[in-house]
Amino acid sequence: MGASSSTDLNVAYKYNTDQFVFSPDFPSTNNHTSQLLNFTLNHLQFINDRFTLKAGAQVDQRKIESNDRGNHDDLHIGAYAIGVYRYNGLNLSMSLRGDYDDNYEFEFSPQLNVSYVLPTITFRASAGRSIRAADYTERYVSNNLPNLTPNRSLGNPDLIAERGWSEEVGIDYTLSKNWQLKATAFARQSSNLIDYVSTNQADIGSVSETGSLQEGANYFFASNISDVRTNGFEVESHFRQTLGARKSIQWNMGYTYLKTSNEEGVVSVYISSHARHLFTTQFLLQWDRFDLAVSGLYKERNSQIASDIETELARDYDVWNARVGFAITESFGLNLQVQNLFDQQYYNILGARMPSRWLMAGMKWNIVGR
């Protein structure tokens, strides 16, 4: 089996600056400087051929300086333990994680994963708890901007962390050595889900100090939605056929159904714009020195119209991408990629238009040492 145990310590530091221009028509430049310092300690212990134990801890220090969001810093500390048991096709994984964060103090998050593998079928299930604190954008975006124009996103410093339970069950079935099908049903129950809700200035002012707003105007205000339930299922098909030396085709397809509701009936940005029905497909062809890839998606969701900014969230849309490559030699090749092949105009969120057709060319050069 090799070493019976191993320990690793990782230290990472990230420093990032960025500039965001909301509109070139008026002064709206946001400048941000963010820093992240991370320490992670992990220990892996092989108890025997059936049981493995892993434990660790991490410390994160986050910091931001921004003319839009202000200056803030947060400390996060976490520790975890995972036990993995394997025997005769049965795989059982149990974990317990504890986290302390300046946003929500101390929380426990248990997790359970189980699978049973047979020659052509795999049964699997999982359940667990999660917690997520609001990020700096959700808490402070636009808080420091003077005379904020209506319908802009606005952060809420008083946000409570999200908490949720997730469950899923699934089955993987191998029809042949070339074809596999997967099906998964899932559910999630969330409390204090963070989303942006169209809110009047008068109501925002009573919640917290959130900058300079126009009287009577509406803003997409980051808010906690008390209880949100998500249910759905997805099916996948993966097919690959080898046609000879350096010749093969691969075809992947997927469908996802998603239904999300909340008891308050709140219409929020993410819940109202996510896909109810999502179809995806990907086709790959390798033929000697030539390769071709085509991928696409079709999404259906609730339509929305924002007449004041002349924007419509269409009920459905489809987007296709393509890539073609040619290997000139064994180690050198050229490729051309087209995103949004048919130049579809669409939005995932009102007011934020997605990219039109764009092209990217590249080359690949493998340098192999002796």
CA–CA distance, 181 with 172 (Å, rounded to integer): 6
Please indicate, yes or no, if residue 295 is contained in any of the structural domains. no
> Which residue segment(s) compose the domain that 96 sits in?
1-114
Helix intervals (H) in 134-180:
136-140
CA–CA distance, 39 with 59 (Å, rounded to integer): 5
CA–CA distance, 217 with 207 (Å, rounded to integer): 15
Radius of gyration of the chain (CA): 25
Q: What is the mean pLDDT of residues 179-199?
A: 92
Number of domains in the chain: 1
CA–CA distance, 70 with 65 (Å, rounded to integer): 6
pLDDT (tens digit, 9 = 90+) per residue, 88-122? 999 999 999 999 998 888 999 999 999 999 999 99
Q: What is the pLDDT of residue 337?
A: 95
Please indicate, yes or no, if residue 169 is contained in any of the structural domains. no
Q: How many CB atoms lie within 10 A of CB 25?
A: 6
CA–CA distance, 75 with 98 (Å, rounded to integer): 14
Helix intervals (H) in the chain:
136-140, 201-205, 269-273
Please indicate, yes or no, if residue 216 is contained in any of the structural domains. no
Please indicate, yes or no, if residue 14 is contained in any of the structural domains. yes
Please indicate, yes or no, if residue 284 is contained in any of the structural domains. no
pLDDT (tens digit, 9 = 90+) per residue, 14-55? 999 988 776 666 566 788 899 999 999 999 999 998 999 999
CA–CA distance, 359 with 361 (Å, rounded to integer): 7
Read off the tokens for 14: 């990230």
pTM of the entire predicted model: 0.79
Please indicate, yes or no, if residue 258 is contained in any of the structural domains. no
Please indicate, yes or no, if residue 277 is contained in any of the structural domains. no
Q: What is the pLDDT of residue 346?
A: 81
